[in-house]
Amino acid sequence: MRAVVQRVSEAKVLVQHESVGAIGRGLLVFLGIGKRDTARDVEWMVDKIVNLRIFETQECKMDESLLDVRGSLLVVSQFTLYGDCRKGRRPSFSEAMDAGAARSFFELFVERAKQKVTNVQTGVFQAMMHVGLTNDGPVTILLDSSSRP
């Protein structure tokens, strides 16, 4: 499982010019699901994201998590995080999980996140989406569950 995590002051997702999810202060997560991912990867990723200490304290030190600041979470599925560009000029997505199984993992991720975070919004799985955000910092973190201890 791969995630691009961005600390935002606001973010929104539009599908066919309609807002389907929007948050204020919090984290925007682009989530890719690999064909070897398991429920353990979901649990690890949710826990890692909500506890990342990437929000600033009053002393301007990054030492607070999404839970500490009571921020919101916007989760957007993005299979292209598994794009392999090592050969040729067209990415291969052979390591991405097929859409049917990936939808279940995405839904599990959102369900687990909702157990920890008060406001969890999402995009629409497999839809063409337009994502708007104001990156705060900017702070952008890359996570890959295959590198978990």
Which residues are marked as active site? 78-80
* Sign of the C-alpha dihedral computed for residues 40, 41, 44 and 49 taken in this order: negative
Q: Which residue carries 């202060």 as its tokens?
A: 25
Q: State the pairing for strand pair 120-122/72-77.
A: parallel
**Residues 6+ positions from 73 with CB-CB distance below 8 Å:** 23, 26, 27, 29, 49, 50, 66, 113, 117, 119, 120, 121
CA dihedral (60, 44, 71, 116) in degrees, to 10, reads: -140
